[in-house]
Amino acid sequence: MGLATFIGGVHPYEGKELSMEHPITVLQPSGVEMVFPLSQHIGAPAKPLVAVGDEVLVGQIIAEAGGFISANVVSSVSGKVKKIEPRRVSNGSMVNSIIIENDKEYRAVEGFGEKRDYTKLSKDDIRKIVKEAGIVGLGGAAFPTHVKLSPKNENEIDYIIVNGAECEPYLTSDYRLMMEEPEKLVEGLKIILRLFPNAKGVIGIENNKPEAIEKIKKLVQNESKIEVVELYTKYPQGGERSLIFACTGRKLNSSLLPADVGCIVDNTDTVISIYNAVAESTPLIRRIVTITGDAVTTPQNFKVRTGTNYQELIEAAGGFKTEPKKVLSGGPMMGQALFTLDIPVTKSSSSITTFVEDEVEQNPETPCIKCGRCIDVCPSFLVPVLMMDKALKDDTEGFEKLNGMECVECGSCAYVCPAKRPLTQGFKYMRQAVAAKRRAEAAKKEGK
């Protein structure tokens, strides 16, 4: 039987050997100032529950969800609220943030870290705990997890898919979690399965992680409702649509949610975070972050408190052995280029990837040669060469007619383009423009 996969995709240099054998190291913040942006998730910003001068504790909710699609923000340190003001985050924008002076005593709220028997909790209890813990999708999208776990009809969910693909080059934090905390992963999946009586658990792992596959297969060998699916190593295998198709054969498009095809997909770390919150009374106050690339001295993985400054992580990895020409928050396919390291670790922080050379700078854009490679690799079966023509003309209507909103911005087309055209950036801009146009049209319609 062949390995599960999808149609399209690319095979970029993996780069995982730089950090994959380095166990997760706990890194306590060395600085005093901790920054907690109120927008660390898709949806409405969280609303502050504290004021300047307030004392806070580890595990305390300092900002509550600002709407149905939103998430709580929880303090990872104890100390005093010094400011509430805009601070820069990894995408370059300024986001209103709570700044806490870390007293480094790490005094916690009552009950923090206490074990509890999740088998005695009701479904509502579990969903409430996940919401209070501020858990979001930790694979990059940062969608509030309590919303994902509350579909219209829980009886129509057939599959809970754990995304252990980690297809983004260079990143190894999920791999290290599967190697070091596989029991928590399996127990977290069992917690989710308690919410969906008809669902089966599927843990999808790319076949470039054989040790993790073997370890988790042994753990679930007697679990009738859980199986491990070996995935063919290919990017973007971990994309939600690609993963659902690979594991179930079901197809998803932009007009559907995974729940509409009977699936719920959660990242490895998200599932472990659910276990931490439900079984160990520990909200989401940490991230496992990969520090990697050819410019950093010692590539590795850190367990770090949210709010910690990026610069501290680079210093803990030995600093730069060579001054990098490019630094990314995230991996090389979907990461954000940084112009400063003075930004905080947030729920969506997965890695800092550093490069001695800037390949984009070294390979300037040239005219399209109409080779069609971008069409061959597109996992959404689109025609990027024509979509880019519409993007260059700001033709949102034409972009929509070409099904441009089905683009998942994976970057596969840009990766194979011999002309080095900035296809992904163009599609990202156009998708935002179309979404803004649709919102304006909807508001105008409601106004009538």
- Is residue 307 a contact partner of residue 159, using CB atoms and an 8 Å limit? no
Kindly state the tokens that stand for 132: 């209070």
Q: Is 167 annotated in some ligand binding site?
A: no
- The annotation status of 410 as a binding-site residue, yes or no, is yes
| Helices first, then strands: H and E counts in the chain | 14, 17
Distance from C-alpha of 174 to C-alpha of 138, rounded to nearest angstrom: 10
Phi, psi dihedrals of residue 253, rounded to the nearest 5°: -130, 180
Three-state SS for 409-447 is CCCHHHHHCCCCCCHHHHHHHHHHHHHHHHHHHHHHHHH
User: What are the strands of the beta sheet with 326-329, ordered from one edge?
Assistant: 25-27, 300-305, 286-293, 351-355, 326-329, 336-337
| Closest by CA position to 164, among listed 201, 128, 131 | 201
Check whether 263 is labelled as a binding-site residue.
no
Contact residues for 292 (Cβ-Cβ < 8 A; gap 6+): 15, 18, 19, 170, 171, 172, 299, 300, 351, 352, 353, 354
For residues 327 and 356, what is the distance between their CA atoms, to the nearest angstrom?
9
Of 247, 264, 239, 161, which is closest to residue 203 (Cα–Cα)?
161
247 is in an annotated binding site: no
- Phi, psi of 41, rounded to the nearest 5 degrees: -160, 165
Strand 79-88 relative to strand 55-56: parallel, antiparallel, unpaired?
Answer: antiparallel
Decide if 220 contacts 229 (C-beta within 8 A).
no
Which string of b and e fits 311-325 if b means at least 16 CB within 10 Å? bbbbbbbeebeeebe
Judge whether 148 and 264 are in contact, CB under 8 Å: yes
- Cite the annotated binding site by residue number: 368, 371, 374, 378, 407, 410, 413, 417
- Cite the annotated binding site for [4Fe-4S] cluster by residue number: 368, 371, 374, 378, 407, 410, 413, 417
